[in-house]
Amino acid sequence: MDKKDIKNFTLEELKEEFKKISEPSYRAKQIFSWIYKKGAEDFNAMNNIPKLFMDKLAESYYIGAVKPLKQLESIDGTEKILFELDDGILIETVLICSNKRKTACISTQAGCKYACVFCASGMNGFKRDLSVSEILSQALFLEHRLKHDITNFVFMGMGEPFDNYENVSRTIKIMNSPEAMAVAARRITVSTSGIIPGIEKFKELGLQVNLSISLHAANNELRDRLMSVNKIYPLEKLIKACEDYMNNGGRMLTLEYIVFKDINDSQKDINDLSKIAKRLKAKVNLIPYSEVCSVNFKSSLKKDVKDFEDGLLKKGINVTIRESKGKDIMAACGQLAGNPA
Ligand code: SAH
């Protein structure tokens, strides 16, 4: 019989598993504590677990892990880790440090189906969804192997989180669970290119997790050109889904907007974007474009982004500019490609 990766189970599911082998449910809590609070990577490390049970566990389960192949550090302190998965697939995870925060930027898929024209993650196509264990292992590696005190977790690495909805939502439940990582929901952010069924389901998760929408264009004609996902979920439907999300108790939305010089930074763009942001009572987060080879866009100048911000401020929009970090190690937004070491 194939062994199961124990990190793919929620606490409730693990309790059920143990019931089948006549073990009390508190054992599931103990295992959770070892894996998620103490970072155990081996059943043998769990010294309050009876040997007999440990052997039983090791017969049917294993503790999945991601293998670090390469670690890079940027001059600004950003770290990028290239991981190899069990089947040889490569993914990347980023740690971004600022004064008060240590943010882990986690991948949810190897490659991406949506292939936005400005993003490296989909340029080599889509490989596969990551499992719950593979997503969690990225965070655990940063916390327990590299000993970082992570304050925030953002699902903004490789892939489209809502195209791997089941695994991403289960991962969030485990991260948030007091018996596991106990990460407060408001410290977790999911970013989506606008997959409407995901936005609809996300409300039902019942957690105050932050949701960001990668908008990048305030009209369909441009959004179609920049993001193929818009042809499936066009702007007006996306905005309606966001509105429903907000009306059903969703936390404040953030609209992400990369400022592309002479492409989406006109006064008309400011007007259109303001209308959307007002309708959704959303915050706008401007992202400077990070250069990706083989794409013909120019890096955003600070001044251009600032001018665009001023335009939005004049319209009364709550707007911030994302600090772009890790460019020298290709770790900034949209630069993660999972290329071999
Ligand atoms: N697929 C999800 C998760 C990726 S999050 C999404 O689209 O939201 C990464 C964020 O960085 C998204 O807002 C994405 O659009 C943005 N991004 C992608 N390529 C970029 C680039 N070259 N420069 C700046 N931001 C980029």
Which amino acids bring their CB within 6 angstroms of ligand 1?
Answer: 116, 118-119, 156, 160, 191-193, 214, 256, 258, 287, 289-290, 292, 333-334
Of all protein residues, the one whose alpha carbon is nearest to atom 8 of ligand 1 is: 192
CB atoms under 10 Å from CB of 251, counted, come to 15
Which pTM does this prediction carry? 0.96
Distance CA 21, CA 54 (A): 13
Q: Ligand 1, closest atom to CA 192?
A: 8
The pLDDT profile of the chain, 341 residues, written as one tens digit per residue, is: 699 999 999 999 999 999 998 999 999 999 999 999 999 999 999 999 999 999 999 999 999 999 999 999 999 999 999 999 999 999 999 999 998 899 999 999 999 999 999 999 999 899 999 999 999 999 999 999 999 999 999 999 999 999 999 999 999 999 999 999 999 999 999 999 999 999 999 988 989 999 999 999 999 999 999 999 999 999 999 999 999 999 998 888 999 999 999 999 999 999 999 999 999 999 999 999 988 876 778 877 899 999 999 999 999 999 999 988 999 999 999 999 988 86
Of all protein residues, the one whose alpha carbon is nearest to atom 4 of ligand 1 is: 156
Bridge partner list, 109: 129
3-state secondary structure of 26: helix
Residues sharing a CB contact under 8 Å with residue 141, sequence separation 6 or more, in sequence order = 65, 66, 68, 81, 83, 93
What separation in Å is there between the alpha carbon of 235 and the centre of ligand 1?
A: 17
Known catalytic residues?
92, 333
Q: At which residue do the structure tokens 């965070």 appear?
A: 139
pLDDT of residue 125: 94
* CA torsion, ordered 275, 280, 281, 287, to nearest 10 deg: -70
Q: At which residue do the structure tokens 């948030």 appear?
A: 176
| DSSP H helices in 141-234 | 165-176, 196-204, 220-226, 229-232
What separation in Å is there between the alpha carbon of 309 and the centre of ligand 1?
A: 19
pLDDT of residue 260: 93
pLDDT of residue 341: 63
CA distances from 145 to 95, 318, 329 (A): 13, 38, 21
Q: At which residue do the structure tokens 């908008």 appear?
A: 215
Of all protein residues, the one whose alpha carbon is nearest to atom 15 of ligand 1 is: 214
The angle formed by the CA atoms of residues 147, 150 and 152, to the nearest 5 degrees, is 165
What separation in Å is there between the alpha carbon of 176 and the centre of ligand 1?
A: 24
- Domains in the chain, start-ordered, CATH in brackets? 4-62 (1.10.150.530), 67-329 (3.20.20.70)
pLDDT of residue 229: 98
What separation in Å is there between the alpha carbon of 48 and the centre of ligand 1?
A: 44
pLDDT of residue 130: 98
